[in-house]
Chains A and B, each alone.
Chain A
Amino acid sequence: MTVFILCFALFLVGVHGVLTRRNLIKVVISLTIMEFSIFLMLALVGYVSMGEAPVLGSDLVVPQLVVDPLPQAMVLTAIVIALATNAMLLTIAVRLYKKYGTFDIRRINELKG
Chain B
Amino acid sequence: MEVMLSVIIGSMIVAAIAAIHARDLLSAIIAQGFVGYGLVICFVMLRAPDLAIVQIVVETITLVIMVAVVLDSSRKELETVIDRRQVATTGMSLLFLVLLLFFFNRAIGSLARFGDHTLRMSEAYVTGAAEQTGSINLVTGVLWDFRGYDTLGEATVLFTAAIGVLTIIRLEGKK
- A25 B54 Cβ-Cβ under 8 A: no
B44-101 residues with Cβ-Cβ distance < 8 A to A are 46-51, 54-55, 58, 61-62, 65-66, 69-70, 72-74, 77-78, 85-86, 89-90, 92-93, 96-97, 100-101
Complexed CA–CA distance, A22 and B150 (Å): 35
- For A98, the chain B residues whose CB sits under 8 A away are 73, 173
How many chain A residues have a CB neighbour from B under 8 Å?
84
Q: Which chain B residues in 1-37 approach chain A with CB under 8 Å?
A: 1-2, 5-6, 9-10, 12-13, 16-17, 19-20, 25, 28-29, 32, 35-36
User: Contact at A25–B138, with CB atoms within 8 Å?
Assistant: no
Q: Are A84 and B161 in contact (CB under 8 A)?
A: yes
- Judging by beta carbons under 8 Å apart, are B13 and A26 in contact? no
Which chain B residue has the least Cβ–Cβ distance from A95? B168
Using a CB–CB distance below 8 Å, which chain B residues touch chain A? 1-2, 5-6, 9-10, 12-13, 16-17, 19-20, 25, 28-29, 32, 35-36, 39, 42-43, 46-51, 54-55, 58, 61-62, 65-66, 69-70, 72-74, 77-78, 85-86, 89-90, 92-93, 96-97, 100-101, 104, 108, 111-117, 119, 121-122, 125-127, 129-131, 136-139, 141-143, 147, 150-151, 154, 157-158, 160-162, 164-165, 168-169, 171, 173-174
Chain B interface mostly = helix
Taking a contact as CB atoms under 8 Å apart, the answer to whether B51 and A79 are in contact is yes
Bound-state Cα–Cα, A98 to B86, Å: 26
- Nearest Cβ distance between residue B6 and chain A, in whole angstroms? 5
**In the complex, which residues of chain B have a beta carbon less than 8 angstroms from the beta carbon of A45?**
111-112, 117
Cross-interface CB contact of B174 among A51, A67, A69, A113, cutoff 8 Å? A113
- CB B75 to nearest CB in A, in angstroms, measures 9
Is A29 in contact with B28, judged by CB distance below 8 angstroms?
yes
Other A-B contacts than A2-B114, A56-B138, A103-B73, 16 sampled, CB-CB below 8 A, are: A19-B89, A21-B20, A29-B29, A36-B12, A43-B48, A47-B115, A47-B117, A49-B1, A54-B139, A55-B137, A60-B131, A68-B119, A69-B126, A73-B139, A75-B48, A77-B154
